[in-house]
Amino acid sequence: MSGMIVIAGAGHAAGQAAASLRQKGYEGRIIMIGGEAWVPYQRPPLSKKFLVGELETKQLYFKPENFYPDKEIELRLSTRVETVDRATGSVTLDNGKTLEYDKLIMCIGGRVRKLVIPGNDLSGIHYLRTINDVLAIQKDFQAGAKLVIVGAGYVGLEVAAVAVQLGLDVTVLETEDRAMGRVIGPEVSKFFQQRHHEAGVRIEFGRMVQEFRGDSSITEVVCGDGYKVPADLCIVGIGLLPNTEIAEDAGLECDDGIMVDEYCQTSDPDILAAGDCTRHPSSLYGRQFRLECVQNAIEQGKTAAATICGERTPYNQAPWFWSDQYDIKLQIVGVSLGYDKLVIRGDMADNSFAAFYLRDSRLLAVDAINSPREFMLGKKLVTAKASFDIAELADEGKDFKELATAALNATS
Ligand SMILES: Cc1cc2nc3c(=O)[nH]c(=O)nc-3n(C[C@H](O)[C@H](O)[C@H](O)COP(=O)(O)OP(=O)(O)OC[C@H]3O[C@@H](n4cnc5c(N)ncnc54)[C@H](O)[C@@H]3O)c2cc1C
């Protein structure tokens, strides 16, 4: 296998795609174009151990720096792909150069959604997506400082947990009526809200931030209902926008993500895409998803490489995700959207339980809180589209492993 592969982006999906191409014996040139100055790195620790200062930058790297020259993967960092010309099979870069490709893999991720409100240019207002973002935040991260976090999603709450433990005074402002509403059910939200409350984090629901005030630096955050919070610094975590513009300009099919099939193929046979920037079909759920998680970036990176190498291995896994807050590890498998029954097993007071989401008795998703066994079995069960008798599942007297084994046997 030879030819020229250009990978746009140098994040998780890109790093995996390049590594998998070499693993599968691809011998042609691979050039990876990354908008950031860093070799592909892992973002999850950015709001966890890296923010606290427990990890060095190098410990975030997806592969050691010498992996790329050793595998003859050419990195062009601090460089962006600006346009894709499908007619000539080439990309232009922001340094004016043009590169021809036989295959292009777009792994261009997403960018933080910004708050466009008065005062948004004051210093002390931060977003969190990159290593550079964290290095900037750390300068303002002092014990006693008043930190306002906008958004009670998982990034905001992970930062809240780190900050309050470092002695910052933390307020979280959220427009919705519960925490992490996009990823977990209401009962599990309540559990996390309680843990944050016990740790000293104030979470204010129904607060729509309308203005940042201050002279040159932020001093106050003002909400639409007049509620005001003093602030020495602010971190905004209100979601991600997929980077689809260059794909759209090139005429690729996009809809809140670059549309790909289960082989990571876009609407152009020579262009593939992987990771946060894509929307893909899931035959497991009979719908399309755009996912923002490491598992999806890794698996789609592998799938794109396999497709280029002539393998037809469809990507159709149950998505999974994790979040660390205090001593709580939340592991989620599947997507609970549309569930009609919720069963909780375990002890919330003990910080160890699992929430099972079912529809018509079929298990859609599991939120496992400090419950690795439920998470591991949950992966198999969700993938197998296993069904349960609700009363049995809810019966704590019944061993979960036995129930899971029986449910799996019934599907095979
Ligand atoms: C703070 C934080 C915590 C997270 N925690 C978790 C977690 O606990 N568990 C989990 O599963 N997931 C977590 N995630 C999500 C996870 O990190 C992402 O899903 C994953 O990084 C997606 O990888 P990707 O390669 O698709 O995109 P990205 O990692 O966004 O990489 C895309 C890269 O492409 C570059 N790029 C964009 N446009 C261009 C262009 N035109 N030319 C060249 N380069 C370009 C970008 O600069 C970027 O470096 C977290 C994310 C963040 C930000």
Ligand 1 pocket, 46 CB below 6 A? yes
- In the block, tokens 């498998």 appear at 333
Domains of the chain: total: 3
Q: Are residues 252 and 105 in the same domain?
A: yes
Q: Are residues 181 and 226 in the same domain?
A: yes
Residue 119 lies in a domain: no
Q: Are residues 269 and 190 in the same domain?
A: no
Q: Which of 236, 257, 277 is the last residue of a domain?
A: 236
Q: Are residues 342 and 304 in the same domain?
A: no
Domain CATH number, residue 200: 3.50.50.60
Identify the band that residue 412 occupies on the pLDDT scale cut at 50, 70 and 90: confident
Ligand 1 pocket, 156 CB below 6 A? no
Q: Which of 204, 220, 236 is the last residue of a domain?
A: 236
Residue 197 lies in a domain: yes
The predicted-structure confidence for 225-281, as pLDDT tens digits, reads as follows 999 999 999 999 999 999 999 999 999 999 999 999 999 999 999 999 999 999 999
pLDDT value at 1 more than 80: no
Q: Which of 184, 294, 300, 315 to mutate to test the pocket of ligand 1 (most atoms within 8 A of CB)?
A: 294
Residue 104 lies in a domain: yes
Domain CATH number, residue 390: 3.30.390.30
Torsion over CA of 10, 13, 15 and 16, rounded to 10 degrees? -170
Q: Which atom, in ligand 1's list, is nearest to the CA of 110?
A: 30
Q: Which atom, in ligand 1's list, is nearest to the CA of 46?
A: 1
Residue 317 lies in a domain: no
Q: Which atom, in ligand 1's list, is nearest to the CA of 275?
A: 26
Residue 37 lies in a domain: yes
Please tell me the predicted confidence (pLDDT) of residue 3: 84
Report the percent of the chain where pLDDT is more than 90: 98
Average pLDDT of the residues in 71-98: 98
Q: Which of 236, 267, 294 is the last residue of a domain?
A: 236
pLDDT value at 385 more than 90: yes
Q: Are residues 145 and 289 in the same domain?
A: no
Q: Are residues 230 and 204 in the same domain?
A: yes
Ligand 1 pocket, 299 CB below 6 A? no
Please tell me the predicted confidence (pLDDT) of residue 326: 96
> pLDDT averaged over the chain?
97
Residue 391 lies in a domain: yes
Ligand 1 pocket, 36 CB below 6 A? yes
Average pLDDT of the residues in 303-321: 95
Ligand 1 pocket, 258 CB below 6 A? no
Residue 337 lies in a domain: yes
Q: Are residues 85 and 12 in the same domain?
A: yes
Ligand 1 pocket, 128 CB below 6 A? yes
Residue 321 lies in a domain: no
Burial class of residue 58 in the structure, from the number of CB atoms within 10 Å of its CB (0-12 exposed, 13-18 middle, 19+ buried): exposed
- In the block, tokens 């197998």 appear at 384
Ligand 1 pocket, 44 CB below 6 A? yes
The closest residue, in CA terms, to atom 14 on ligand 1 is 44
Q: Are residues 35 and 103 in the same domain?
A: yes
Measured in angstroms, how far is the CA atom of residue 45 from the centroid of ligand 1? 12
Please tell me the predicted confidence (pLDDT) of residue 47: 96
Ligand 1 pocket, 10 CB below 6 A? yes
Q: What is the pTM of this model?
A: 0.96
Q: Are residues 148 and 185 in the same domain?
A: yes
Measured in angstroms, how far is the CA atom of residue 271 from the centroid of ligand 1? 20
Q: Are residues 208 and 230 in the same domain?
A: yes
Measured in angstroms, how far is the CA atom of residue 270 from the centroid of ligand 1? 23
Q: Are residues 360 and 382 in the same domain?
A: yes
Measured in angstroms, how far is the CA atom of residue 130 from the centroid of ligand 1? 8
Domain that holds residue 59: 4-111+241-308
The predicted-structure confidence for 314-352, as pLDDT tens digits, reads as follows 998 899 999 999 999 999 999 999 999 999 999 999 999
Ligand 1 pocket, 40 CB below 6 A? no
Ligand 1 pocket, 298 CB below 6 A? no
Measured in angstroms, how far is the CA atom of residue 240 from the centroid of ligand 1? 10
Q: Are residues 11 and 107 in the same domain?
A: yes
